[in-house]
Structure formats: structure tokens, C-alpha cells
Amino acid sequence: MKNLFVGNLDPKVTHEELRRLFEAYGQVVQVHIIVDRDTGLPRGFAFVEMTNDAEAESNQSSEWQHAERSYPGRASSTRLAPLRSR
């Protein structure tokens, strides 16, 4: 499994929208939008966990980074994030 960091997100983006966007590239296990612990408002980034390493890596390719895949009003960026043991 691979965990992708997704940055520069619009605060209005939902879990369902992110899941739908990334499922175009493979199976998504989990979407976690990070929120501020004091205000509960989204902080503008998320983590998307995908089952297949190759699918996750295709999401962070230069094609993804530079394509016109503006997520509601913003150009998002992705990169692989190491999975932390819990």
C-alpha cells in the first residue's frame, strides 16, 4: 500500500470528491482530509491511501503534477508519503 500526500486543496473539497478523483487511477483504501484540531476547518491537504504501489506512483508522476487537473479552483500536487506505523 502507498500513502499519497495531496496538497493545495480547496477547503470545500470532500472525501467523496477526492476518492472519485483518485479512483480513476486505482483502488483507494482511505481518504483522510486533515483538519485543524481547534477550529475543525480543513487545512488544505489530505492523505489518500491506495492499494497498488504502481497506481499510487502514477498519481505523483509529472503528468499529474503538470496536467490541468485543477481541483475546484486550484492546481493540486501529490507526492508519496511514507506510511507511519501506528
- Classify the C-alpha dihedral 32-60-71-5 as positive or negative: positive
Q: How many whole angstroms separate alpha carbon 60 and alpha carbon 2? A: 11
Q: How many angstroms from the chain centroid is the CA of residue 84?
A: 16
36: helix, strand or coil: coil
CATH class of 2-40+55-81: alpha beta
Q: How many whole angstroms separate alpha carbon 55 and alpha carbon 14? A: 21
**All three cell numbers of 20:** 472519485
Q: Is the pTM of this model over 0.85?
A: no
**All three cell numbers of 13:** 473539497
pLDDT recorded at residue 77: 66
pLDDT recorded at residue 16: 94
Beta-carbon neighbour count of residue 2 at 10 Å? 21
Q: What is the pLDDT of residues 1-53, one digit of tens each?
A: 888 888 888 888 899 998 998 888 889 999 999 999 999 999 999 999 988 77
